[in-house]
Amino acid sequence: MFLLVSITLIMGIAVGWSIGANDAANSLGTAVGSKVITLRRAIVLIVIFGFLGAYFQGANVIKTIGKGVVPLDTLAKDISLYIALVASFAACAWVVLATYWKMPISTSHSIVGAVAGAGLAIGAPVKWLVLGDIFICWIFTPVGAAVLGYIFYRLFKNILYRIIPRKHLRVVMTILIITSGCYMAYSWGANDVANSVGVIAGARIISVNTSLIIGGLAIVLGVMTWGYKVIETIGSEITNLLPIMAFSAQLASAINVHVYTLFGIPVSTSHSIVGAIFGVGLVRGVRVVNLHIMKEIIICWLATPFISGVISFLVLKGILLFVKTGG
C-alpha cells in the first residue's frame, strides 16, 4: 500500500509539472507576443502569481475533481488509489504529448476525462450529471471569453486612446498588460491546481491544504522548465497582437476563469485565453486570425477528454487483469 501511495503522489506531481509546462502561456503569453515583456520576466511573474492563486483559492475546484466526477472519498482505499494513480498517469501522458506538439490543450479536460475513464474501468459510480454540467461550461468557456475579449477591445480601444496622452500610452499599456497577466496567472493557478492534486486529495492520500502546496510547487516547476514552448503558440501564432489587444484578451480570460473557479468548476484556461485572443482578433477582421492553427487547436480540444479517458480506461483494465491473474 505504501508503494502505491508513493507512486500515486509522484504521478500527481508529474501532472502538476505538465500543467505548468502547457498552461504557462495562458497567463502572459499574449504579453510576450505583443513584445511588452520578455519571456524570462513573464515566467517569473507566472510562477509567483500562479502559486498564490493555487494556494489561496485552489480548494474550490479540488473538491470537484476529487469527489464530483467519481466519489473517491467514499470508495475503498485501494480502489480510490488505483483511480487516482491511473487518472494522473493518463492525464499527464496526453498533456506532455500535446506540449511537445506546442498545442495549448485543456489539462482540466484531460484529468476529468481520465477520472471518468478510470471510474468506468473499475466499476466505480460516475456522476454523469456533474459531468454534463462541466461539459456545458467547457462549451461556454471559449465563447464567453471571445465575447468579453471582443467587447473589451472595442471599449478600451476607444477610451484609452482618447484619455491617455500619446507620450504616456506605451507605459500605461505596459502596466495594464502586466497587471492583467498577473491576474490571469492567479486565476489559472486557482483553477488548475486541482488538475494536479484533486484526485490525490479525493483519495485521502494527503490533506487539501498540503495538496495545494505540493500542486502549486509542481506547477511552478513545469513553468520554469518547459513553459516556454506553448508561450510561442499563444503569443504569436494565432494572431499578431497589439498591446491593447493583449490587455483586452488577458483581462477577459482572467475574469472568465475566475468566475468559474468561485463556483468550483474546472474549466480550461487554454480555451479561455485562445477564445479571448480570437475575440479581439475579430475586431480587426477574421483575416488576421490564423484559422489553420485555430483548427488544429480545436481538434486537440475535442480529442482531449476522450483520449485521456481511453488511456485511463485501458491502463486500469490492464492493471486489474494483471492483479487478477496474480502477475
Give dist(CA 192, CA 110) in Å, integer.
11
CB environment 201-235: b (16+ within 10 A), e (fewer)? bbbbbbebeebbbbbbbbbbbbbbebbbbbbebbb
Contact 316, 83 (CB under 8 A): yes
pLDDT tens for the chain, residues 1 to 327: 788 899 999 999 999 998 888 777 778 877 787 778 888 898 899 999 999 999 999 998 998 999 899 999 899 988 999 999 999 999 999 888 887 877 767 888 899 999 999 999 999 999 999 999 998 998 899 999 999 999 999 999 888 888 989 889 889 999 999 999 999 999 999 999 998 899 999 998 889 999 999 999 999 898 888 777 666 666 555 556 778 888 998 999 999 999 999 999 999 887 898 889 889 888 876 555 666 666 776 787 788 999 999 999 999 999 999 888 865
Contact 250, 180 (CB under 8 A): yes
pTM: 0.87
**Secondary structure E strands in 111-238:** none
Domain count for the chain, please give it: 1
Residue 223: the pLDDT is 87
**What is the largest distance, in Å, between two alpha-carbon atoms of the chain?**
76
Structural domain boundaries, residue 33: 2-324
